[in-house]
Structure 1
Amino acid sequence: MSSLSAGVHYDSTRALDFGSLPRTYASALHLLSLLPTNRDVTALFEMPKPKDGEGAPVDFNSLAIPEVVAWMARAGYKDISKDLAPLKCIHIAGTKGKGSVSAFATAILVEQVSAGNAAVGRVGTYLSPHVVSVRERISLDGQPISRELFTKYVFALWARLSEAAAAADPADENPYGAHSKPFYFRFLTLLAFHVFLQEGVRSAVVECGIGGEYDATNILPASSVTAAVVTRLGIDHVAMLGRTLEEIAWHKAGVFKDGVAAFTLQQGALEAELDGKDSPPGESKQDREAALEVLRTRAAEKKAQLYEIPAETVARWDGVPDAALPGTFQKYNMALAAAAAEHHIRTVGTKDGKKLNATEAPFDPANMPKASFAALAKATLRGRCETIIDNSSATSSAVKYLVDGAHTADSLGEVARYFVAQSGVNEASSRRILLFSVRDRSPGDLVRALVSGTHRSFVLVREVLQELDADFEE
């Protein structure tokens, strides 16, 4: 078959009249809808593994990078190191805060361009997932790609992959079908790199999807990465990454590269900031310290220089008042983003006419440049403590929605604390609704984290939580 995605089911019999398909944004979305979803792929890790020709279980993780490299070749990028050479990227992995760190780093780079730092060049950003529009995943100069450009490049990439499939398998009667394309996330990853290269992006912020070592974005060669980042770790995607913080840290550290600076927070020390709050299962101070040791070991193995930003230093920092991305926990993401972005700026060129030392790394956010501080205040990201007020009802009080993509117990606890902090006495008569992500997680664990984070005297019915857990297990 022409598909390179092992284990994923494609319907190769479904005909697609690509030539007559209108070149519209709706048609581009239709093409994407034909691809296997990310859930189709993650589900493979939850089932018994198929056997290879020698009777051994197929390791889907180990197939990932070779497959993405092969897809890139079909898209016309046969020499990854050479073809991606124009890009200089900040590569971000982690469990919590990846999107926020990406948004903060992007804002700093865009601010540099606005200030006349030509060395930074055009800025591209690749994020996942999206909240409202798929175009949120690919940004140019801090703004989601336009519908027109998105449509143009989806059709261009689809055509390239189809033509390559036809050349590889002349017997394929439907090379323009979805079966000759990678699944959804990989297609968008190829699309992002294609857009960046075609649109002249110089500096890119690239967020991993899941993990790091085997993530599709990790085809980036060391020569195209200026800084690798691992944000706060947590227990998530256990079927793919493992059930302990140490196993997960191993995967996340896969973005470390030879000769490239790597940045992380001192994970164990962050427990001091929890102010006595209960740690989620498997995420104790000891677990975090063990995970940090894994990051250090992996950095040494990969010959990357790991810079650890002391959590105590960030805790003493006042943060950025009235930032568009609110929450006291965001100052840790801000510090991490600022450290990586400033290193990127030093690496790609000059600033204020002075050649910068690429080996220096800032550790104290209190001393960051004013331009970076201003950029952090303006950074935005959909679905991160986002407040939406509905005044549509003429007969009742306004409804305030707090929308957040929190999907782990620890993250939801932080969001709950922010939610309560925003519920002032003057809003006693208004309705406040918190929306968050539940899919593929235990509702009982998330409800417990939500209640714990409110610090209020709620009366919980144990049977309700048990019923939630039982429903999830079914």
Structure 2
Amino acid sequence: MKPTLSLKMIAKTYNDAINALNSLQSNYANIMAIREAGIRKNEMSLLEMREWARRIGYSTKDFNQLNVIHITGTKGKGSTAAFTSSILQKYQDKLPKIGLYTSPHLRTVRERIRINGKPISEDKFTKYFFDVWNKLDATTSSLEVFPHMTPGSKPGYFKYLTLLSFHTFMQEGCNSCVYEVGIGGEYDSTNIIEKPVACGVSLLGIDHTYMLGDTIDEIAWNKGGIFKDSTPAFTVSGQPSKGLQVLEERAAERNTVLKEVPIFKELDEINLGIAGEFQKSNASLAVCLATQALKSLNIIDTEVPLQQSSQLLPNVIEGLKDTQWEGRCQTFKKGKNNWYLDGAHTMDSMTAASGWYKDITAKSSNKKIFLFNQQTRDAAKLLENLDTTIGDAAKFDLAIFSTNVTWESGTYSADLVSMNTSKEEVENLSVQQNLATEWNKLHKDCETVVTPSIETAVKKIESLSNEPVDIFVTGSLHLVGGLLVVFDDNN
């Protein structure tokens, strides 16, 4: 009789890891129930996160050796994190390994966990993923203290990835790590970091109200929750006055001082690695965060620049110029067509994305196409905002409203599977039909098309004519990421 092999004895693959990870996503029904009940994150979510860390072999104090730069905000926190990481990489003689944890991802979930700017390999992702998975299976928690942490249970999708990032960066011996907050700050799973070397807040705006609150005051309170005792804190200039006041109060509570960062004049003379005029604010914040980290680690003795006219270090400028961040103000040519990509899911983000597209195509006489989706937020208001920002300067000849489904077959790329949207709405194209109707109210002379997949939308665009066209892709980052996956497959 042949011996029975246990699952642990069978070699696991990257696809096994992705399938296991996707099983941790909250489904649409659960998310809507939580929203309708008005349930928000609380202190228990952080207590649980610390317990998950204990069960995989770490005290949260252990993570202090990662020398974390912690970044939150509503708009631009991901770009700020990318700029900061790129600057630190210019000091690799002293900091050989720089970790970067961000969300969401575009093509592959491995993008969320990077070392020296590159996503970790499939092999490393798989190894570290099942390290965490198996350790959680082999340990338990007190059900009296943690009633939801039953034997065999796992943290949700984002919390699991946060745990995985800590484990990866610790095992890889990272010298400094840049962490982008998922949502909010106070109760975000990344906020088990006890002693970051610097904290930053990008521009505040209204988003995730069901979790963070309906006002700038409430949102700022949540964002300011990342501030730590005596850790230098920085924010961009131009914050809403109420939000800035709350951030300053939160900093005082944590025995630190919040410093406003100007937009450095020297940035007018260089081409940032991420395009868009508004990125100068994010880049300026990154300069101060990286400088503070390097100073704290005794790598440089330069004071953090806080004047518009401050002269920036050569390595800092090179880091800003070399930053790469796909899907954010990204331009490329494919065949005869010009593609302009920028994910935008808030009003502020849509204003910035639309303004960037308007400026960059101002002198183009090509026909214009608009490709859009936003499955879960108030997409109609985003469309109105886009229309107001662009005006008649870049009149669209065709508007395409697609789902985030990757392929014509009706399937998603494995790394892009999403269970947190309504399957029925996606299949019925109800969101897309409503968006087409709203767009027609704004532009009766613009042709509109609804497509069930991103691949279908791409084929529609590529079949239109022999003349070059300009295509603006915005809204959901899942749409932008899926588009890049389709292009990869077609190369």
Q: TM-score, normalised by structure 1?
A: 0.77
Kindly provide the CA deviation profile for residues 369-405 of structure 1, in whole angstroms up to 9, marking residues without a partner as x.
01111110110112101224321xxxxxx22222222
Does the 8 Å CA contact 1:45/1:240 hold for their aligned counterparts? no
Q: Tell me, yes or no, if structure 1 residue 135 matches structure 2 residue 115.
A: no
Paired with 1:320 and 1:152, the residues of 2 have a C-alpha distance of 44
Does the 8 Å CA contact 2:55/2:135 hold for their aligned counterparts? yes
Which of residues 417, 425, 428 in structure 1 aligns to 2:355? Answer: 417
Does the 8 Å CA contact 1:402/1:433 hold for their aligned counterparts? no
Does the 8 Å CA contact 1:320/1:373 hold for their aligned counterparts? no
Letter in 1 for 2:232: A
Q: Tell me, yes or no, if structure 1 residue 384 matches structure 2 residue 384.
A: no
Kindly provide the CA deviation profile for residues 140-161 of structure 1, in whole angstroms up to 9, marking residues without a partner as x.
1111111111111111111111
Residue of structure 2 equivalent to 1:333: 282
- Provide the secondary structure at the position in 1 that maps to 2:197: strand
Q: Tell me, yes or no, if structure 1 residue 80 matches structure 2 residue 60.
A: yes
Q: Tell me, yes or no, if structure 1 residue 253 matches structure 2 residue 224.
A: yes
- Provide the secondary structure at the position in 1 that maps to 2:268: coil
Letter in 1 for 2:257: Q
| 1:227 Cα deviation from its structure 2 partner | 0.4
Aligned pair in 2 of structure 1 residues 238, 376: CA closer, same or farther (>3 Å)?
A: same
Which of residues 292, 298, 304 in structure 2 aligns to 1:349? Answer: 298
Residue of structure 2 equivalent to 1:221: 194
- Provide the secondary structure at the position in 1 that maps to 2:199: strand
Does the 8 Å CA contact 2:40/2:212 hold for their aligned counterparts? no
Paired with 1:30 and 1:464, the residues of 2 have a C-alpha distance of 37
Map 1:49-88; keep pairs closer than 5 Å. 60-77=41-58, 79-81=59-61, 83-88=62-67
Q: Tell me, yes or no, if structure 1 residue 240 matches structure 2 residue 240.
A: no
Paired with 1:308 and 1:188, the residues of 2 have a C-alpha distance of 31
Residue of structure 1 equivalent to 2:477: none
Map 1:192-207; keep pairs closer than 5 Å. 192-207=165-180
Paired with 1:38 and 1:256, the residues of 2 have a C-alpha distance of 32
Aligned pair in 2 of structure 1 residues 18, 180: CA closer, same or farther (>3 Å)?
A: farther
Residue of structure 2 equivalent to 1:407: 345
Paired with 1:364 and 1:18, the residues of 2 have a C-alpha distance of 59
Which of residues 352, 374, 383 in structure 2 aligns to 1:447? Answer: 383
Residue of structure 1 equivalent to 2:260: 308
| 1:305 Cα deviation from its structure 2 partner | 2.1
Aligned pair in 2 of structure 1 residues 466, 386: CA closer, same or farther (>3 Å)?
A: closer
- Provide the secondary structure at the position in 2 that maps to 1:325: coil
Paired with 1:18 and 1:112, the residues of 2 have a C-alpha distance of 43
Which of residues 8, 19, 23 in structure 2 aligns to 1:34? Answer: 23
Which of residues 371, 376, 382 in structure 1 aligns to 2:315? Answer: 371
Letter in 1 for 2:105: H
Aligned pair in 2 of structure 1 residues 344, 433: CA closer, same or farther (>3 Å)?
A: farther
- Provide the secondary structure at the position in 2 that maps to 1:108: helix
Kindly provide the CA deviation profile for residues 67-92 of structure 1, in whole angstroms up to 9, marking residues without a partner as x.
10111111111x211x2132101000
- Provide the secondary structure at the position in 1 that maps to 2:243: helix
Does the 8 Å CA contact 2:213/2:219 hold for their aligned counterparts? yes
Q: Tell me, yes or no, if structure 1 residue 111 matches structure 2 residue 90.
A: yes
Letter in 2 for 1:400: N
Which of residues 358, 365, 369 in structure 2 aligns to 1:428? Answer: 365
Does the 8 Å CA contact 1:401/1:433 hold for their aligned counterparts? no
Which of residues 241, 265, 268 in structure 2 aligns to 1:289? Answer: 241
Paired with 1:220 and 1:76, the residues of 2 have a C-alpha distance of 16
Does the 8 Å CA contact 2:65/2:175 hold for their aligned counterparts? yes
Kindly provide the CA deviation profile for residues 207-250 of structure 1, in whole angstroms up to 9, marking residues without a partner as x.
0000000000000002xx01000100010000000111111000
Does the 8 Å CA contact 1:135/1:147 hold for their aligned counterparts? yes
| 1:464 Cα deviation from its structure 2 partner | 4.3
Which of residues 144, 155, 162 in structure 1 aligns to 2:130? Answer: 155
- Provide the secondary structure at the position in 1 that maps to 2:306: coil
Letter in 2 for 1:428: S
Does the 8 Å CA contact 1:38/1:184 hold for their aligned counterparts? no
Bigger shift: residues 99-108 or 17-26 = 17-26
Does the 8 Å CA contact 2:383/2:439 hold for their aligned counterparts? no
- Provide the secondary structure at the position in 2 that maps to 1:389: strand
Paired with 1:17 and 1:212, the residues of 2 have a C-alpha distance of 40
Letter in 1 for 2:381: D
Kindly provide the CA deviation profile for residues 105-127 of structure 1, in whole angstroms up to 9, marking residues without a partner as x.
000000111xx2x1x34210000
Bigger shift: residues 68-77 or 437-446 = 437-446
Aligned pair in 2 of structure 1 residues 387, 434: CA closer, same or farther (>3 Å)?
A: farther
| 1:421 Cα deviation from its structure 2 partner | 1.6
| 1:26 Cα deviation from its structure 2 partner | 1.2
Letter in 1 for 2:202: T
| 1:45 Cα deviation from its structure 2 partner | 3.9
Percent of residue pairs identical:
35
- Provide the secondary structure at the position in 2 that maps to 1:456: helix
| 1:463 Cα deviation from its structure 2 partner | 11
Paired with 1:301 and 1:19, the residues of 2 have a C-alpha distance of 48
Q: Tell me, yes or no, if structure 1 residue 208 matches structure 2 residue 181.
A: yes
Paired with 2:436 and 2:136, the residues of 1 have a C-alpha distance of 53
- Provide the secondary structure at the position in 1 that maps to 2:287: helix
| 1:131 Cα deviation from its structure 2 partner | 0.7
RMSD: 3.0
Residue of structure 2 equivalent to 1:285: none
- Provide the secondary structure at the position in 2 that maps to 1:404: strand
Which of residues 15, 18, 40 in structure 1 aligns to 2:7? Answer: 18
| 1:320 Cα deviation from its structure 2 partner | 5.3
| 1:22 Cα deviation from its structure 2 partner | 3.6
Residue of structure 1 equivalent to 2:75: 96
Paired with 1:290 and 1:216, the residues of 2 have a C-alpha distance of 26
5+ residue gaps in structure 1? 1-15, 50-57, 170-174, 269-287, 392-397, 470-474
Does the 8 Å CA contact 2:159/2:189 hold for their aligned counterparts? yes
Residue of structure 2 equivalent to 1:122: 97
